Structures are given as structure tokens and as C-alpha cells.
């Protein structure tokens, strides 16, 4: 897949490092901001450089938290947080910059600044989002979310969580096609933790291989999430081992991209997975 001139083979798995430029993200909020609330460009670039060294193929930049109960920010705030970091990374590192946003205005500005992927938790449902992506050549990740970040975890209900998530993603892929966005530019994400309780998340993880029927690259993000805490009893910063275990389970079922805070450890686990897969192919 072509990410703004950077070609990556998604038949092999890749790591996406999380770079939250927010004061309130659930695990790392505020870490890349100055005392006055502005983005610390130097600190953001150092974090990006380390993730690149640790094995990330993508950096996912977010200027608005989408954690449960998150407050919305203005469009200008989101743009002011994200664009300078895109420019700094683009000028210093050879890595795909993904932008985690639902705002068509930021999508447009990010693409013009050199972003190679748009990662939208609302799957291009906002007005003009489809048009912006259709007029570009940049790929998009479509994610499933029931409800909105502020209220999505209050009482999520499904009759058939896998079937409903699959149906939603199929409908959004079809909307992309009709808008002129080819399937060669689409990645899908079942949206762990977005309007789903523990049992919903565990069922999706247990049946993740069934997303192969869509014949599209699959992005999975479970790093440090509440579902891991519910299983292990550990706080956000102590969920690294569980996150790596979840990542390996996802890789075994065909995930193409693992989105994580813990890049080095996840990349090591991925290398072991790839070595075992290569050994299996040799024995066929």
C-alpha cells in the first residue's frame, strides 16, 4: 500500500506507535505538552525518533482524546497540536505519519503537510470526510465505534457483536467505493474498547480471524486498554505484558498493523511471530 510515497507490504505485520498530543489521553495524556499546554515539538520529535528506532512503521498522531468520557476540543486546538508535529516528523524521519482524526478540515491539512494515512474512529461519517479522502491518494483506516467517545461505554448493547461490527465496516467500505476511494486504500479496525464491554471485546478478539472475509488489511489497537485491566487487575501503565499477549493473539489471526504505546516490546514479539511463520512455510 502506498502511504504518501512510502510503500509498505501489509502481507507482513507492522507496528504503529501511538503519539498522543493531548492533555487527557487515558494512558499518556500530557506527556508531550509544555507547562503552558502547548505542544512540545522537541519532546514529540524525540519520542517519534525512539519509536522509529524501536521498529515502528507508522506513527499515529492524535490531537483529541477519544478515551471514554473524553471532552471535545475545538478544531483549531486539534490543528494547532497536530500540524507542527507532522511537519517536524516529516522533515526528520522516513516513516509513515498517520493522523487520528475525524475532522475533514484536519484531514485535508494533514494530507497537505505529508501525512500518509488517515485513521478515523468515525469511519469517515462526518460531512465532507469522504470527499476529502476521495480527492487525495492517501489510505484510510475505518474503525467501528458504537456511540460517541463521551458516552460510548455507558451501556453498550449488541445482539451479535461480530455480525454488527462486520456489517458496519462493510457498509463503510461500500460508502468509500461509491465516493471514489478504492479498496486498495482501505484498512479496517474493529474498534476494541469503543462502545464495547469486556465480553464484546473478548468475543471480537477470539473471532478476529473472521474479519478476513472482508479481504482488507486489519489494524488492531488494544494497548493498555480497560479490557486488559479488567482481565489482569492492573492499572494502565502496568498492562504492557497483557498488551503484547493480545497483540500476538491478533497477529495469529491475521492482523496487519498493531497499534501500541509499547513499540520495542511489541516489535520483538512480532519478530518472533514472523520467524515462526517463516519456519512453518519452509516445512510445507
Q: Catalytic amino acids?
A: 225, 259
**Cα–Cα distance measured from residue 137 to residue 4, given in angstroms and rounded to the nearest whole number:** 8
**Cα–Cα distance measured from residue 228 to residue 206, given in angstroms and rounded to the nearest whole number:** 14
- Residue-level length of the chain: 284
Cell numbers standing for residue 255: 492482523
Cell numbers standing for residue 64: 483529541
**Cα–Cα distance measured from residue 268 to residue 54, given in angstroms and rounded to the nearest whole number:** 9
Among 239, 240, 269, residue whose Cα is nearest residue 252: 269
10 Å CB burial of residue 3 (0-12, 13-18, 19+) is: buried
Q: Strand pairing partners for 100? A: 62, 119
**Cα–Cα distance measured from residue 56 to residue 52, given in angstroms and rounded to the nearest whole number:** 5
**Cα–Cα distance measured from residue 47 to residue 153, given in angstroms and rounded to the nearest whole number:** 30
Q: Please report, in angstroms and rounded to a whole number, the separation of the first and last CA atoms in the chain.
A: 28
Amino acid at each position: 500500500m502506498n502511504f504518501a510515497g512510502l510503500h509498505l507490504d501489509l502481507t507482513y505485520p507492522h507496528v504503529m506507535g501511538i503519539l498522543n498530543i493531548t492533555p487527557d489521553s487515558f494512558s499518556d495524556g500530557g506527556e508531550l505538552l509544555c507547562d503552558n499546554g502547548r505542544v512540545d515539538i522537541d519532546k514529540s520529535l524525540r519520542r517519534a525518533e525512539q519509536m522509529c528506532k524501536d521498529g515502528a512503521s507508522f506513527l499515529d498522531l492524535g490531537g483529541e482524546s477519544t478515551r471514554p468520557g473524553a471532552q471535545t476540543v475545538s478544531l483549531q486546538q486539534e490543528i494547532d497540536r497536530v500540524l507542527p508535529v507532522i511537519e517536524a516528523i516529516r522533515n526528520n524521519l522516513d516513516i509513515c505519519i498517520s493522523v487520528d482524526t475525524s475532522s475533514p478540515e484536519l484531514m485535508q491539512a494533514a494530507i497537505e503537510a505529508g501525512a500518509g494515512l488517515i485513521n478515523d474512529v468515525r469511519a469517515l461519517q462526518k460531512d465532507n470526510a469522504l470527499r476529502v479522502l476521495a480527492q487525495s491518494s492517501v489510505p484510510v483506516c475505518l474503525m467501528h465505534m458504537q456511540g460517541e467517545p463521551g458516552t460510548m461505554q455507558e451501556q453498550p448493547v449488541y445482539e451479535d457483536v461480530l455480525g454488527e461490527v462486520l456489517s458496519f465496516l462493510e457498509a463503510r467500505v461500500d460508502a468509500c467505493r461509491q465516493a471514489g476511494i478504492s479498496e486498495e486504500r482501505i484498512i479496517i479496525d474493529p474498534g476494541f474498547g469503543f462502545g464495547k464491554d469486556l465480553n464484546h471485546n473478548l468475543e471480537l478478539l477470539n473471532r478476529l480471524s473472521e474479519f478476513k472475509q472482508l479481504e482488507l488489511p486489519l489494524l488492531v489497537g488494544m494497548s493498555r486498554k480497560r479490557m486488559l485491566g479488567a482481565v489482569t487487575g492492573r492499572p494502565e501503565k502496568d498492562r504492557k505484558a497483557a498488551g503484547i499477549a493480545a497483540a500476538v493473539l491478533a497477529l495469529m489471526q491475521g492482523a496487519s498493523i498493531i497499534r501500541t504505546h509499547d513499540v520495542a516490546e511489541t516489535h520483538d514479539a512480532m519478530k518472533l511471530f514472523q520467524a515462526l511463520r517463516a519456519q512453518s512455510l519452509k516445512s510445507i
